[in-house]
Amino acid sequence: MKSVAEDSLPKLIVGLGNPGKKYQDTRHNIGFMVLDQLANEWSASFHDDKKRKAGWVKCENYILVKPLTYMNESGQAVGKIAAFHKIEPHEVLVIYDDMDLDLGRLRIRAEGSAGGHNGVRSIISHLGTQRFSRLRLGIGRGFNEGIGHVLGKFCQDERSELEKSIKEAVLAIGYIAEKGLSAAMTKFNASPKASKNKSTQQKSLPKNDN
């Protein structure tokens, strides 16, 4: 039986990361990088909402969100934005880094535990449920596991694979928004090159009349 999230289309798309120049381009901020690319494709700019502790922008009927809290408190922003826009947890898609996947790999998931990710753990706490979808982007483990690795910046020889990963994630988000989570999992979880035949000229987010 499919979960509610698998049959739902996202309305709130969240990229996780830490705010500030100190953390810019770090592995932990790959969720922010994907959101920046999405906004750039729509010529949109994030505005800071201090009351709700988030930078967000509306593109068509999708709301893109970057929490202004630090990673461990991401749920504060997600919970406030979701409540303000009357968005249900199963309509939320969260994008974040995963050390258990190699750089360039991604995984789409309908729901589940935090898997050791503090940002996701915070979102679960504030939404009161694990039933929201996720897009995990691999950053590998490198030589320094744990906090030293995730807060380290991508090195020069990783840049090409990073750019490909961000583009792949943008395509996956567009596919989720258009076809649904279940179809996207079948397509993108199978192979890191699963979307190679999908045109990159297509708008990343289709219009949503929901």
pLDDT, tens digit, 9 for 90 and up, residues 99-114: 999 999 999 999 999 9
Query: What is the b/e burial string over 70-97, where b = at least 16 CB atoms within 10 angstroms of the residue's CB?
Result: ebebbbbbbbbbbeeeebbbbbbbbbbb
Neighbours of 100 (CB within 10 A): 13
Q: Which domains does the chain have, with CATH numbers?
A: 5-188 (3.40.50.1470)
pLDDT tens profile 163-207: 999 999 999 999 999 999 999 999 999 755 544 444 444 556 766
pLDDT for the residue numbered 145: 65
Residue 68 to residue 132: CA distance in whole angstroms: 20
DSSP 137-194: EE----SS-THHHHTSBPPGGGHHHHHHHHHHHHHHHHHHHHH-HHHHHHHHSS-TTT
Q: What is the mean pLDDT of the chain?
A: 89
28 in active site: yes
Give the three-state DSSP class for 94: strand
pLDDT tens profile 16-70: 999 999 999 999 999 999 999 999 998 999 999 999 999 999 988 899 999 999 9
Looking at per-residue confidence, does 71 or 8 come out higher?
Answer: 71
pLDDT for the residue numbered 45: 94
Catalytic one among 28, 90, 117, 126? 28
Q: Does the pLDDT at position 1 exceed 50?
A: no
pLDDT for the residue numbered 147: 81
Query: What is the b/e burial string over 121-138, where b = at least 16 CB atoms within 10 angstroms of the residue's CB?
Result: bbbbebbeebbbbbbbbb
